[in-house]
Copies of this chain bind each other. A is one copy, B any other.
């Protein structure tokens, strides 16, 4: 169910971008009970002009390796689960592809279960 949008600067190799997707998925599985095969992610690569960020907001030192990850998902997780997700995501992404922990921005957009159809025109989560 999560629909994940990963934005980063253009120019990283395919393996690097795959590692970001894989690490994000591992964190979702570990902390949000997302099924292993519930994977839907869109990656957008941006030129410098089109990737605008502050490099020190909230005293976090960011670099051009920043990834902005917006995850749309069901509104069923607790605050504790969200904190666990954030922690696990930076750990996984630091492990692979080796991102600095400061360079991971995460945003969750929550929706109702009935707001999804995964094919065949059926609301699979609201039968």
Contacts and interface: CB of A to CB of B under 8 A. Distances in A.
Nearest to A94: B121
Interface in A50-96: 50-54, 56-58, 60, 62, 68, 70, 72, 79, 82-83, 86-91
Contacts of A115: 82, 107-110
Kindly state the interface size class of chain A when it binds its partner: 35 or more
B40 A91 contact: no
B50 A37 contact: no
B121 A21 contact: no
Contacts of A122: 83, 86-87
A108 B110 CA distance: 10
A118 B57 contact: yes
A37 B56 contact: yes
